[in-house]
Structure 1
Amino acid sequence: MDVNEIQKFLLIIENKLQENWNKFSSNISIHLITAYHMGWVGEDLTPLANIRRGKRLRPLFCVLVNQTLGGFLDDALEIGSAIEFLHNFSLVHDDIQDRDEKRHGRWTVWKIWGEAQAINVGDLLFNMVFQVLTNLKSPVLLSKSLKELTETIRELIEGQYLDISFEKRKDISLKEYLMMIDKKTAKLFSTSFYLGAFSATYKEDLSKIFQEIGRDFGLFFQIADDAIGIWGDPEKTGKNAFVDLWRKKKTYPILYLYSESSEKEKLRIEEIWGREIVTEKDIEYLLDHLERKRVKEATFNLAEKYFDEGYKKLLSFQDLYNISLLRKLFEDYYNLIFSLQRS
């Protein structure tokens, strides 16, 4: 990958996010709390020397698709900003609902300022999505962006509803789980790719193909993340060992394990799900059971399947466009995911 090119776009994206935040913020301190969540200020709400931001992967894909297809960069930056603010709205509310206390190594908004104010912070980020879109000069692109992003919002909420509902259920099928992550995770990626393409070409058929590529990447991204939540190396991920097992998260590997278990084994898994506190013995049982059922192999195979589908569609454009940055971002992210495994 041309790291300098990617870093250049990430810097441009970060500057555009801060520019839009400045444009649509007031002197009410809640705006500084949104800046805390975005990684720009510390707990004392003063600027950080080293920004603690997320990966900005969604706006990055939006911008790279737009530039690959010869689009106008400013349009992609505005749309990418809106997408990133939408993503962060969902994270703030998700942290409240999941009771997550840390994100990117820092206390979450609700943990510092309380749930009520965290809801307000999430709502403010949500509002910023639409304020940013008013920067678009093309009525056609504004209309298309509103249509796609409002549909994405609906699916994000549906996905979060399903995810929370799964916490109290034992009979979750793999098909249901894949539908949930399609809505909660993959949809935002597919929208990033779609609007990146449409903002460059205004061609629906071409944009739909890139939408499919984004969906494939999003499914790969989530299933691989599920795998890393169990088999990731703590020294590389910065997370506790077997974090998803300790938290009793019903991710793809655990649901696959449950689907492959006998009735007696299912009862044992259900007992663990029902405990207030998971024990070392429970973790040992799950790890042994996961190994015997070859769940790690099945999970990474499915992640690879989605990656390969998206990657092949992307390569179909290599004779028409210079897809080198997109291709290398795909490849490097694939390599990163597999490098995070416990040896």
Structure 2
Amino acid sequence: MTTLPDTAQQDRTARAALERARTLLDPALRAWVHRLPGPVARVASYHFGWTDGAGRPASGTAGKALRPALVIGCAEAVGGTAQAALPPAVAVELVHNFSLLHDDILDGDATRRHRPTAWKVFGASAALLAGDALLIHAGRVLSDQPGHPLSVTGVRWLSEATTQLIEGEQSDLAFEERAHVTLAECLAMSERKTAALLSCACALGALWGGGAPEQVDALRRFGTHLGLAFQIADDLLGIWGAPEVTGKPAGADLAARKKSLPVAAALDSGTAAGRRLAERYAGPRAGQAAGGPDERLSGGPAAQAAEVAELTALVEEAGGRAWAERAAGEQLDLALACLEAARPARSAAAELAALARLAARRDH
């Protein structure tokens, strides 16, 4: 039998962990969603891929379940069980999907997971309320465990992480209105918007698994560095990713003038390409007159595609892509060092390391 390359073996390990987490998670997740009021549950069920826009059963994807897999993996890493860690796994997944429902509205994204976003199908108000309901349910999942000694701590940690996520999202939106944003500011925003919830997922898993305080702390730091690697890799996909991988149009972040991390690095580069990128970001978008978004120019999709191609080339020429690829690797190395410091059980450590490598690569 031919031995698989290390990367292929790690991918198989990571995908098996994700599949196991999804299998464990889905029954409980569905049960909590079905406790919502009918119209709200309908929107949430569509968002998770369980139904179509008319409420009929569907086979859409509910996402990769990375955060629940991290909860479960960290619980097992410190000697706990997957079943015991199911409540925080469900809670973290509910918070994550609250953020996705809101994020799609805020960004005006028309597609997610290869089909129309919930707000495009049901309207922004219905999708907004569904997101709110998922967030409230996340707290209930942890608090509806009478006498559980970790409930109060878990709700507090999840609330703190959600507050950071919201702060990061607000900063991300504010950056779109600013002519210049430093790379340091973008990294701080990413740590709040993305890394905070992954860090919380790892800490909750370790807590529910019965880990010692130093293990919980090490796994929390593992999640923080993994979250930054994940976001950097996701930003790379937002520019160079294929639509069949991302589920979104190519170059959507550039078209929206997002100050993603590769863009911030390019703008901070001090290069001629970086200065040209800053000029293009400050000017009107393709198909949009300087007077405002309602004054359209001719050109349509072809002009927008040409603009995205130009911006993509400028980011790469200014070094944004090279910086991001290097930084993602550095954050992954830091994450793996923190994982080792937690003294994890061997099999769980292998799964967590494989998940980290897959998430930081994001070419799948």
TM score, norm. by length of structure 2: 0.84
Percentage identity across aligned positions? 29
Instruction: Quickly say closer, same or farther: Cα 1:164–1:235, change in 2 above 3 A.
Output: closer
Q: Secondary structure at the match of 1:54?
A: coil
State the alpha-carbon separation in 2 of the partners of residues 265 and 163 from structure 1: 20
Structure 1 match to 2:40: 30
Structure 2 match to 1:306: 331
Structure 1 match to 2:66: 57
User: Which residue of the other structure, out of 91, 99, 112, is the alignment partner of 1:82?
Assistant: 91
Instruction: Quickly say closer, same or farther: Cα 1:239–1:98, change in 2 above 3 A.
Output: closer
State the alpha-carbon separation in 2 of the partners of residues 283 and 239 from structure 1: 14
Structure 2 match to 1:246: 255
State the alpha-carbon separation in 2 of the partners of residues 273 and 196 from structure 1: 44
1:200-215 matched pairs, under 5 angstroms: 200-201=209-210, 203-215=212-224
Post-superposition offset of 1:318? 5.7
Q: Which moved more, 1:36-45 or 1:302-311?
A: 36-45
Is this contact kept in 2: 1:170–1:270, CA < 8 A?
no
User: Which residue of the other structure, out of 27, 32, 36, is the alignment partner of 1:20?
Assistant: 32
Structure 1 match to 2:8: none
Residues 41-100 of structure 1: per-residue CA shift (max 9 Å, x gap) = 11111222x242111111111011112222143331111111111111111111111111
Q: Which moved more, 1:201-210 or 1:325-334?
A: 325-334
Is 1:42 the counterpart of 2:52? The answer is: yes
Counterpart AA for 1:167: E
State the alpha-carbon separation in 1 of the partners of residues 311 and 171 from structure 2: 24
1:252-267 matched pairs, under 5 angstroms: 252-261=261-270, 266=275
Is this contact kept in 1: 2:43–2:126, CA < 8 A?
no
Q: Which moved more, 1:300-309 or 1:241-250?
A: 241-250
Post-superposition offset of 1:214? 0.3
Post-superposition offset of 1:124? 1.1
Q: Which moved more, 1:125-134 or 1:283-292?
A: 283-292
Post-superposition offset of 1:238? 4.4
State the alpha-carbon separation in 2 of the partners of residues 259 and 289 from structure 1: 13
Residues 224-272 of structure 1: per-residue CA shift (max 9 Å, x gap) = 1111222224454444333322332211111111111358953653344
Instruction: Quickly say closer, same or farther: Cα 1:285–1:41, change in 2 above 3 A.
Output: closer
Instruction: Quickly say closer, same or farther: Cα 1:15–1:290, change in 2 above 3 A.
Output: same
Is this contact kept in 2: 1:224–1:299, CA < 8 A?
yes
Is this contact kept in 2: 1:78–1:135, CA < 8 A?
no
Instruction: Quickly say closer, same or farther: Cα 1:138–1:207, change in 2 above 3 A.
Output: farther
Is this contact kept in 2: 1:216–1:309, CA < 8 A?
yes
State the alpha-carbon separation in 1 of the partners of residues 244 and 51 from structure 2: 26
Gap runs ≥5 in structure 1: none
1:1-343 matched pairs, under 5 angstroms: 1-2=12-13, 4=16, 6-22=18-34, 24-26=35-37, 28-48=38-58, 50-201=59-210, 203-261=212-270, 266=275, 269-277=278-286, 279=303, 282-317=307-342, 321-322=346-347, 323-334=349-360, 336-337=361-362, 339=363
Q: Which moved more, 1:131-140 or 1:53-62?
A: 131-140
Instruction: Quickly say closer, same or farther: Cα 1:154–1:333, change in 2 above 3 A.
Output: closer
State the alpha-carbon separation in 2 of the partners of residues 111 and 238 from structure 1: 15
Counterpart AA for 1:40: W
State the alpha-carbon separation in 1 of the partners of residues 116 and 244 from structure 2: 20
Q: Which moved more, 1:134-143 or 1:13-22?
A: 134-143
State the alpha-carbon separation in 2 of the partners of residues 84 and 293 from structure 1: 37
Task: Give the aligned length.
Answer: 335
Structure 1 match to 2:9: none
Larger relative contact order (CA 8 Å, sep ≥ 6) = 2
Instruction: Quickly say closer, same or farther: Cα 1:319–1:165, change in 2 above 3 A.
Output: closer
Q: Which moved more, 1:263-272 or 1:102-111?
A: 263-272
RMSD: 2.4
State the alpha-carbon separation in 1 of the partners of residues 321 and 182 from structure 2: 18
Instruction: Quickly say closer, same or farther: Cα 1:154–1:291, change in 2 above 3 A.
Output: closer
Instruction: Quickly say closer, same or farther: Cα 1:285–1:164, change in 2 above 3 A.
Output: same
Gap runs ≥5 in structure 2: 1-11, 288-302
Q: Secondary structure at the match of 1:169?
A: coil
Counterpart AA for 1:16: A
Q: Secondary structure at the match of 1:140?
A: coil
Is this contact kept in 2: 1:272–1:282, CA < 8 A?
no
Q: Secondary structure at the match of 1:126?
A: helix
Is this contact kept in 1: 2:68–2:92, CA < 8 A?
yes
Counterpart AA for 2:124: E
Is this contact kept in 2: 1:85–1:125, CA < 8 A?
yes
